[in-house]
């Protein structure tokens, strides 16, 4: 019999995860507040449900792909009765980039009801979600991670169980802090090259053949920045959230991060208008008319 998996949140990431799971033989029930997203999921072999609680009925695993920790907590809260009444163990696999403390609190609350909750934020963008090749960073108990193994493996090329509850989101915030910094440093490096009379494409080629490279310079700049398309599928608003969460984590843990402080300030102050994408930051665009 096919394992039934629920997916809550069928956005840029969740849609690809849901259709990947359906394509790999899971029976998938998907819910999103947006009807348009539910329709897209149905076209990809997912059974759309009209009410959030329907996702909690008859499933052993529920994947979340929601914008913020607040959304994650609200969805769990709204379904506590359904979870209390469930006559089986449910493991929630939260792939949202969320807050470590919220992950820990939800895992503890759900453990009290006999259910599992693991934080499993991801890297790889919509393309990685749609191809089942995400990198997943996981926090949770060994037992829950093992139970969720087949679902995790179907969605990811690399799944790293980094520690107990909350650890996945700590790892993800560290990763995105670096990605946000690389956006700034790569943009500034190319800006300097331009100012000093070097062609930006030539400068980028050099970086990618030398020690200045990162995934941002190797993938993001050639694919979404240099051509002015800025359509990676990740939004400015989500990146600002991640950088803010990383800064809050630094403040709470007493980690003194001077450069990250400057990066966080740049992201927080960057204009949001016309910012469908996190690279749409005038100051960092490596184009000659940037002033």
User: Which residues are catalytically annotated?
Assistant: 172
Q: How far is the CB of 284 from ligand NAD (least distance, A)?
A: 18
- The reply on whether position 71 binds ligand NAD by CB under 6 A is yes
Please list every residue from 225 through 264 that binds ligand NAD, using CB under 6 A: 233-234, 238
Contact call for residue 204 and ligand NAD (CB under 6 A) = no
| 235, two tokens | 């939004």
> Min. distance of Cβ 14 from ligand NAD in angstroms?
5
The residues in 120-149 that bind ligand NAD, with binding defined as CB under 6 A, are 122-123, 125-126
Between 200 and 249, CB nearer to ligand NAD:
249
HEC per residue, the chain: CCCEEEEECCCCCHHHHHHHHHHCCCEEEEECCCHHHHHHHHHCCCEECCCHHHHCCCCCEEEECCCCHHHHHHHHHHCHHHHHHCCCCCEEEECCCCCHHHHHHHHHHHHCCCCEEEECCEECHHHHHHHCCEEEEEECCHHHHHHCHHHHHHHEEEEEEEECCCHHHHHHHHHHHHHHHHHHHHHHHHHHHHHCCCCHHHHHHHHCCCCCCCHHHHHHHHHHHCCCCCCCCCCHHHHHHHHHHHHHHHHHHCCCCHHHHHHHHHHHHCCCCCCCCCCCCHHHCCCCCCC
CB of 55 to ligand NAD, least distance (A): 9
Residue appearing with tokens 């107990």: 164
* Residue facing ligand NAD at closest CB distance: 11
Is residue 9 near ligand NAD by the rule CB under 6 A? yes
Beta carbon nearer to ligand NAD, 200 or 275: 275
In this complex, which beta carbon is closest to ligand NAD, that of residue 98 or of residue 189? 98
Q: Smallest distance, Å, CB 37 to ligand NAD?
A: 5
Residue number with CB closer to ligand NAD (19 or 200): 19
Per CB under 6 A, contacts with ligand NAD among 10-39 are 10-14, 31-34, 37
> How far apart (Å, rounded) are the C-alpha atoms in residues 201 and 188?
14
Considering the complex, what minimum distance in angstroms separates the CB of residue 86 from ligand NAD? 19
Q: If binding is defined by CB under 6 A, does position 215 make contact with ligand NAD? A: no
Which of these ranges, 4-12, 160-168, 193-201, 255-263, lies near ligand NAD under the rule CB under 6 A? 4-12
Binding-site ranges for ligand NAD (CB under 6 A): 8-14, 31-34, 37, 52, 65-67, 71, 75, 96-97, 122-123, 125-126, 233-234, 238
């Amino acid at each position: 019999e096919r394992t039934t998996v629920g997916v809550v949140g069928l956005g840029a990431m969740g849609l690809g995860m849901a259709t990947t799971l359906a394509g790999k033989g899971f029976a998938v029930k998907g819910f999103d507040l947006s009807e348009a997203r539910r329709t897209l999921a149905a076209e990809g072999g997912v059974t759309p449900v009209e009410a959030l609680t329907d996702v909690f009925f008859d499933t052993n695993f529920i994947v979340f792909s929601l914008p913020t920790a607040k959304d994650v907590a609200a969805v769990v809260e709204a379904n506590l009765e359904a979870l209390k009444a469930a006559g089986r163990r449910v493991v929630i696999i939260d792939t949202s980039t969320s807050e470590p403390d919220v992950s820990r609190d939800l895992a503890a609350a759900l453990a009290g009801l006999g259910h599992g909750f693991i934080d499993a934020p991801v890297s790889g963008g919509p393309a990685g979600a749609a191809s089942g090749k995400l990198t997943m960073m996981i926090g949770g108990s060994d037992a829950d991670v093992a139970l969720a193994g087949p679902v995790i493996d179907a969605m990811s090329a690399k799944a790293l169980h980094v520690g107990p509850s909350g650890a996945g989101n700590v790892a993800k915030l560290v990763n995105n802090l670096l990605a946000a910094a690389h956006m700034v440093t790569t943009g500034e490096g190319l800006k300097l090259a331009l100012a000093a009379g070097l062609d930006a494409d030539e400068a980028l080629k050099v970086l990618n053949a030398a020690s200045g490279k990162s995934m941002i310079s190797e993938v993001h700049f050639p694919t979404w920045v240099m051509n002015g398309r800025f359509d990676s599928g990740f939004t400015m608003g989500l990146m600002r959230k991640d950088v803010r969460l990383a800064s809050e984590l630094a403040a709470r843990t007493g980690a003194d991060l001077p450069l990250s402080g400057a990066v966080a300030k740049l992201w927080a102050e960057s204009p949001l208008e016309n910012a469908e994408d996190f690279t749409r930051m005038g100051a960092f665009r490596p184009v000659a008319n940037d002033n």
